[in-house]
Amino acid sequence: MNKMLILGLLLASSLAQAAPAQLFKSASCGCCADYVTYLNANGIRPQVENRDDMDAIKRRYGSDGAASCHTLVISGYTVEGHVPVAAIRKLLKEKPAIRGIAVPGMPADSPGMGRHTPGTLPVMAIARDGAIKDWGKF
């Protein structure tokens, strides 16, 4: 592996590790717990808060138009649902002028839900005005 690629991977990993993160979820949601395990294994260690008012959380952080079962807030961005870590790292590195990113619903092939094949899962961007648009496949 070339040195620039290794340095880039280390930088992306350190960005995710250094970013303060909070994940809101329902106490009874098993896939949310699996997603937290996935995040931890990939260097993102969110503070987890069980909530009974997830619809209000999604409205507060602007992800209600692309809702899934849990909401992660990291470095001022909203990450809704079973978003792959590669997409989160890109978000933190590029710092686009958007509210956040999302994987709406609960796709069976997403991290925390089942076997995920990198590069296949559509991730959506959440614009500051709430509009949802394609952000790429991760």
pLDDT score, position 14: 47
Domain at 61, CATH number: 3.40.30.10
pLDDT of 54 = 96
For the stretch 13-54, pLDDT in tens is 444 455 789 999 999 888 999 999 999 999 999 999 999 999
Q: Which residues pair with 48 in a beta bridge?
A: 23
Contact 97, 88 (CB under 8 A): no
Q: What pLDDT score does 61 carry? A: 97
Q: How many domains does the chain have?
A: 1
- Average confidence score pLDDT of the chain: 90
Instruction: Return all residues near 117 (Cβ < 8 A) that are at least 6 apart.
Output: 109
SS3 annotation, 37-60: HHHHHCCCCCEEEECCCHHHHHHH
pLDDT tens digit sequence for 113-122: 999 999 999 9
CA gap 19, 105 in Å, rounded? 25
pLDDT value for 51: 96
How much is the pLDDT for 86?
A: 98
Domain span at 31: 3-137
7 — pLDDT class (breaks 50, 70, 90): very low
